[in-house]
Structure 1
């Protein structure tokens, strides 16, 4: 028996969801282990924890439901369930964007030159990480209250003239002008955060380049920008931001296509959902691959197993 397009789509969603949950749970477990063992955490670790929680919300709210819909379960959410799922997804997505932006800006401040102009900002930045993370959650919880208004369940008896079918819920149009206005506001907000990330990333690249030039100039072969924890963390954040900007650009293009289409095809809806769900899946693996504490933890666990064998 051949595989139907719906089954293939469902398996892709399922693979993406499993990989995302495994990666984010792994990195959360890693930080819990570091906390319980008394290891000193970096200031950026708190931001990454919030980013990981937001990623889990995105994956569970959209990845799991898209998987179930693609595998043939069309009426498993009520009208309230649809509103809640879309609201949680939007809050998680926006917190993920804000956390990634905060992570890049804070890292740029951390590795900035140690001169009196930056010293005071460096000292204050650590104190405001927690409040900024909480503020990000509160603002997005409030700003996305409008999202449930545009969503209804499949079994709703409302007179829907223009809608986007997600396979398990409908996104209801309230007029082309309002849809485009809302999409433009979301796009402007995303562009603002992306611009901040690019500015911070450009600053980090410049600082790393200057440091490398200085190291080569003084011929200290035992000092390398790659070997320092700050440099490894910076490189991981640069890769994270580059991945985010690329996927966010693609996601915004698909979001605009959905907004301007009267009745978008299911292929367009599925492609948009897959792209928007890619960053929460790949981000924990990027962060773990550049965290030397992960490799040290794995080596310690391996030694313990070998000694107990």
Structure 2
């Protein structure tokens, strides 16, 4: 184990522990509130689901990556590699889907009652739980091919015919069926990104109009506190912006790795960037969402 491996191993350990702690805090907070009150907001159900899948992303990638970099080799067999990468891909897809739905949900919630979205606005809270179940079913079925193509690194005899993921390997020469599935979920990623960009643009426009209206009513020299709806919108925009930033960097780096030579530090950096959103998002929510802070303080006072 080199000093470089030690550095990356400790970095992944800190990132995984840091992110898991934040997501677990949100999961515990929402669970306690659901049993003791007050009543959860509709958006809290999506935030609970986001925290859960983000925890799964961190644990399924951070733990094996940390163990490999800290010198524990050959700790996963073929079955272990298949399961770890399968659940990581499923959780990553669910994180993207949930963030997309969160952005769309908030954009529809902002729409005026007189708009064409008024009917959808009234019904969309009923679709949150079915949406989560549908997403789980869809992604569990979509990534089945991973269970057929992933192998432990020690089982790959020819190093030139694999894409090394430090502790597992993926054959580069994939079949047509696998390539077709990769193309399908790439299109789904593009669709979700497009929805997030569109809804984010709408929310930015809404906040700008709201700011102009407040200035007109109160005058340029007076300020008014933001409404809960506005603060929630700003929080979702921050989450979506952070997701898109890390996703873009991760995608660009992945493309560079595919087109060029596979370098160890690029693999590590790519893994680190992919885990940045799951690790940072709970703390963005805790800091920017006043409702979460108030509920946490209320529960603390009760204790």
Using structure 1 for the length normalisation, give the TM-score. 0.89
Using the TM superposition, give the Cα deviation of residue 62 of structure 1 relative to its aligned residue in structure 2, in angstroms: 0.4
Specify the alignment match of 1:281 in structure 2: 279
Specify the alignment match of 1:171 in structure 2: 170
Unaligned runs of 5+ in 1: none
Once structures 1 and 2 are overlaid, which stretch shifts more, 117-126 or 186-195? 186-195
Unaligned runs of 5+ in 2: none
Change (3 A) 1:303 1:132: closer
Distance 1:8 1:64 in 2: 15
Specify the alignment match of 2:267 in structure 1: 269
Instruction: Please tell me whether the aligned partners of residues 86 and 147 of structure 1 are also in contact (alpha carbons under 8 angstroms).
Output: yes
Distance 1:260 1:241 in 2: 28
Instruction: Please tell me whether the aligned partners of residues 78 and 153 of structure 1 are also in contact (alpha carbons under 8 angstroms).
Output: yes
Give the paired residue count: 302
Distance 2:152 2:227 in 1: 52
Specify the alignment match of 2:128 in structure 1: 129
Aligned ranges 1:130-279 → 2 under 5 Å: 130-156=129-155, 161-175=160-174, 184-219=183-218, 224=224, 227-261=226-260, 264-279=262-277
Using the TM superposition, give the Cα deviation of residue 175 of structure 1 relative to its aligned residue in structure 2, in angstroms: 4.8
Using the TM superposition, give the Cα deviation of residue 147 of structure 1 relative to its aligned residue in structure 2, in angstroms: 1.7
Distance 2:176 2:143 in 1: 19
For the aligned residue pairs, the C-alpha RMSD in angstroms reads: 2.5
Distance 1:17 1:222 in 2: 44
Once structures 1 and 2 are overlaid, which stretch shifts more, 251-260 or 144-153? 251-260
Specify the alignment match of 1:48 in structure 2: 47
Aligned ranges 1:70-149 → 2 under 5 Å: 70-115=69-114, 117-149=116-148
